[in-house]
Amino acid sequence: MAAEGLRPATLAAQALGWVDEATRAIIPPLHPATTFLRDPDNQFRSGRIYGRDDSPAYDQAEALLAALEGGEGALVFASGNAAAAALFQALAPGDHVIAPAVMYWGLRAWLRDHAVRWGLEVSFLPEMTAAALSAVLRVGRTKLIWVETPANPTWAITDIAAVAALARAHGARVCVDNTAATPVLTRPLALGADYVMHSATKYLNGHSDVVAGALVTALRDAAWDKVRAVRRAGGAVLGPFEAWLLVRGMRTLYLRVSQACRSAERIAGHLAAHPRVAAVLYPGLPGHPGHAIAKAQMTGGFGGTLSIRVAGGEMAAVAVAARTTVFKRATSLGGVESLIEHRASIEGAGSSAPPDLLRLSVGIEDTEDLIADLDQALSDATGR
């Protein structure tokens, strides 16, 4: 086990310092087993019964996630949406939940199209402020408030501590989608949240080769047992190799996020003065409406993702993305490579993304190469 008192960056780099007891290897073994030997009296004293929920492949990833987020427990899932869905499915029919109107589109669509069939009532708020929440909170019925901050793809900021305090006063719980910030920049549980969700596909893995999700809880209680039961029964579990790759990726989490933040802040400042950029959406800019809150609850940077609104509208934005060469036109974020995407056309009907918006996920390439790539892509035919 890891020594007490080590900083999170050290815990991540050494994956808690675990060593395989059988071989003394410092890299964890891969455990593909799906079933485990019973004791002679038919008991399972090893604690392992079946791979769907008791796989040793999950142990290190879940322990590391809990440590980095400061929680009592963690669960890994087959995807970020599977992780989020498990938390909602652990609620009861008739329960009321609140979510932001601007959030990851895949989860918003799931809440809109599927959660209601589970008997949940969902309210989407344009702004996750105390005043807006107070207007829709239902004492005794509102069970979960979903927060995404910074919120994809406009990077709006929500005051986690304020939402958590309001939720506690009304008997509700709060889950924060911490995918974009990661525990490197924000630790929602320390700010009063009850749960943290990650699309571990993104920064936690960081290499664009794993689809995974995770939930971390502040407390191991009856509500957490229900979430674990949903995973066990539903079977949306992570494969052993994917769990191994997730641990591999988290070892460099702090280095990757730190570099991405430095480059993103430099790019945001550069593009804020560009004549072909109508607006830069990045909480690290002093003019961003959520800058003050972000500065208070994010440490070490403001994230490696930003969006720009291109002067000239939708077709101009699509044309800019078509001209990039270092930035690759692809969905996702948080990888070592920089990506650019026209969100409205990807999300389709009902997208909250303005049609002139391009989302940028900044990787770990040289910052000046990234800026030069964007500059040439933004230049019109006359070179301006």
Selected catalytic residue, list 177, 194, 356, 373: 177
Q: Which residue out of 108, 173, 202, 248 is catalytically annotated?
A: 202
Nearest to 132 by CA among 102, 109, 152: 102
List phi, psi (to 5°) of 328.
Answer: -100, 140
Q: How far is CA 344 from CA 156, 282, 306, 317, 318, in A?
A: 17, 18, 15, 11, 10
Per the residue annotation, which of 52, 226, 228, 251 is the catalytic one?
52
| 14: Cβ contacts below 8 Å, ≥ 6 apart | 2, 251
Q: Is 295 exposed, middle or buried (0-12, 13-18, 19+ CB in 10 A)?
A: middle
SS3 breakdown of the chain: % helix, strand, coil, rounded to 5?
40, 15, 45
Distances (CA, A) of 100 to 11, 87, 332: 33, 16, 20
Would you call 52 a catalytic residue per the annotation? Answer: yes
DSSP 326: S
Q: How many helices (H) and strands (E) does the chain have?
A: 15, 12
Q: In the annotation, is 104 catalytic?
A: yes
Catalytic residue (choose from 54, 58, 95, 104): 104
Look at the chain and count its residues: 384
Q: How far apart (Å, rounded) are the C-alpha atoms in residues 1 and 376? A: 50
Task: Clarify whether 375 is annotated catalytic.
Answer: no
What beta strand segments (E) does 186-321 contain? 195-198, 213-217, 277-281, 305-310
Q: Which SS3 state, helix, strand or coil, does residue 358 take?
A: strand
Active site residue 295: no
Q: Cα separation of 357 and 290, whole Å?
A: 19
- Report d(CA 349, CA 356) in Å as an integer: 15
Strands 195-198 and 213-217: what pairing? antiparallel
Give SS3 for 92: coil
**Residue whose C-alpha is closest to residue 216's, from 234, 194, 249:** 194
**Residues assigned a catalytic role:** 52, 104, 177, 202
